[in-house]
Structure 1
Amino acid sequence: MKLEYSGQEKVQAEADKVWRFIQDPQKVASCLPDLKSVEIKDEKNMVATVGVAVGPVRGTFKFNIELEPRPEENKVLVRLRGGGLGSVVDLTASAVVTDQGDQTTLLDWQGQATVSGPAASLGGRVLDAQAKKLIQTVFANMSQRMSEA
Structure 2
Amino acid sequence: MVRWLFALIVIVIVGFFIYVKLGNKMPEDLGVTDGLLKSCPTSPNCVSTQASPDDMVHYVEPIIYTSDRKATQLKIESSMLSKGRVRIVSSTLGYVHFEVRSPFVGYIDDVELYFPEGDSVVHIRSASRVGYSDFGVNRERVRQITDLLVN
For normalisation by structure 1, the TM-score amounts to: 0.41
Larger RCO (alpha carbons 8 Å, 6+ apart): 1
Q: Which has the larger radius of gyration?
A: 2
Higher strand share: 1
